[in-house]
Chains A and B, each alone.
Chain A
Amino acid sequence: MDKFLKLNFFEYQTISLKWGNKKDYGLLCLLGVITAIISGFVAIDTGHKGLSLFFLGGLLGMAFLYFQYGFASGWLKFITQGDTRPIGYHFVLIGFCSLVYLPISYLGLGSSGSFAPISISLVLGSFIFGIGMQLANGCGSGVLFTFGSGSARMIFALPGFIIGSVIGSVILPIVLNWGALNPIIIGASSSLIIYCALNSFLIFCVAAIFFTMAIKSGQKLSINWLVGTLLISFLCILVFIISGHPWGVTFGFTVWGGKIAMLAGIPIDKAAFWQWPGPALALKQSVFADVSSLMNFGMILGASFFAAVTASFANQPWPPIRQLAAAMIGGLLMGVGARLAFGCNIGAFVAGISSGSLHGWLWAFFALLGSWVGIKTRPYFGF
């Protein structure tokens, strides 16, 4: 480690999480009861596999909160300050995941990567998602872990996201008809070694370019963020191996919204999206039997636990009302965008690129454009 530090490219950074004075024992008890009951439900129905994914969701919530691992804030820094380091870390995360996703997926060893059509809906959805991400100040995973940590803004962004993803589910089949091609997997027709090497090389090259740009402009790489990146990629790989798919966040929100709509008497099951076998099954069975939904519960609880232990749960006052409106609108846009674009930063950007799917690269490009528009819109909401 000292050897690396002597290269003068690296530095330790103080974690910016605001720790309180004492642990929140009341909240810890409440969370303990909720976790025990959900664990019981999950253990009875889906056994160790369900429990593992539930707790992996919790660990991801804690890790994201501890390292303040944001996609929205990283992209904001890139666009407004020219700080290329955060996107560099994101590509390192993707690169580590790709080292496992690509060979396992290619050889058909039980788990399969994340692939999606190249479509007009992908372009529109990722652009809309990028705008929403900057208005809400958080992406799919960001909304979850900051909601769990007690962010007042996310009280508005999360319901917006859920409503938006239901709207997105209704319009996705229509927009898919505007034009779509089957998924394109980079290097899929070549041998295993070329397929893996080509994709991983591309990903680590992009990371290296971003890091070189940062170092040339006098910035140092954060040891903390690199450790966080390594830890989160390890957890993502475990999710991939246990669940059979890369980690995704937003389908869980769509399921929650679909079920709430049904509870409210809205016949959402008649919509074309909910007639497809996967969504139809998710709507019928328990919210704890869908991987994405189950992990979302875990992530919220994990982040809440961490916030309770560090006495940082909901310790900030209400933001101005215009910022809350921005969070709600941002959540709505992210919900619609995530459905149209087949996922968020986690399910499309990280999972797509690390699986060698072209849709992940296109998602990143158009979401970055959307982020730029979102950042230009922020002053209208007072931030």
Chain B
Amino acid sequence: MLNTPRNIHLILLLLIFLLGSLDHLTSPVTESLAAPADKSLACAPCGAPCPE
């Protein structure tokens, strides 16, 4: 039975891993971790600029 929660989960886990790996291998090499709040003008954790 393919449509059990377990099998769907396993497929999704593999899909998330494969997409993540594909993205990693096709992205520019970076040597430092980043969070959007690290960037200048960021006024919120998501990197939104200050309102005023």
- Show the binding face of A for B, using Cβ within 8 Å: 27, 30, 34, 37-38, 41, 45-47, 49-50, 53, 112, 114-117, 119, 150, 152, 155, 158, 172-173, 176, 180-183, 243-246, 248, 251, 254, 259-260, 273, 276-279, 281-282, 284-292, 294, 297, 300, 304, 313-318, 339, 342-343, 347-348, 351
Contact = CB atoms under 8 A, between A and B. Distances in A.
B46 A285 contact: no
Contact of A279 (B5, B33, B47): B47
Given A288-B20, A294-B33, A278 B46 contact: yes
Contacts of B33: 46, 49-50, 53, 243, 289-291, 294
Contact of B51 (A47, A155, A182): A182
B52 A150 contact: no
Contacts of A339: 46
Interface in B5-30: 5-6, 8-10, 12-14, 16-17, 19-21, 23-24, 27-30
B21 A115 contact: no
Contact of A342 (B5, B34, B40, B45): B45
Q: Which 6 A-B pairs have the closest CB atoms?
A: A278-B36, A278-B47, A180-B51, A277-B39, A314-B6, A152-B5
A274 B13 CA distance: 27
Given A117-B48, A315-B6, A342-B48, 19 more contacts: A50-B33, A115-B44, A117-B44, A155-B9, A173-B48, A181-B52, A183-B44, A183-B50, A246-B45, A251-B45, A276-B39, A276-B49, A278-B38, A278-B46, A290-B33, A294-B33, A317-B5, A348-B45, A351-B45
B24 A287 contact: yes
Contact of A172 (B29, B48, B52): B48
Contacts of B39: 276-278, 281
Given A37-B21, A286-B23, A288-B20, A278 B37 contact: yes
A184 B12 CA distance: 41
B23 A278 contact: no
A188 to B, nearest CB: 14
B16 to A, nearest CB: 7
Contact of A251 (B10, B17, B43, B46): B46
A244 B37 CA distance: 10
A313 B9 CA distance: 9
B47 A116 contact: no
Nearest to A285: B30
B48 A245 contact: no
29 contacts: A41-B21, A45-B31, A46-B30, A46-B31, A50-B33, A114-B37, A117-B44, A119-B51, A152-B8, A176-B51, A182-B52, A183-B50, A279-B47, A281-B39, A284-B28, A287-B20, A287-B24, A287-B27, A288-B20, A291-B33, A291-B35, A294-B33, A300-B13, A304-B13, A313-B6, A314-B4, A339-B46, A342-B45, A343-B46
A378 B19 CA distance: 34
A286 B35 CA distance: 12
Contacts of B29: 45
B23 to A, nearest CB: 5
B2 interface: no
Contacts of A348: 45
Contacts of B16: 297, 300
A281 B51 CA distance: 21
Contacts of B36: 251, 276-279, 281-282
Contacts of B47: 276-279
A74 B50 CA distance: 33
Contacts of B14: 30
Contacts of B8: 152, 155
Nearest to B20: A287
Contacts of B52: 181-182
B42 A278 contact: yes
B5 A318 contact: yes
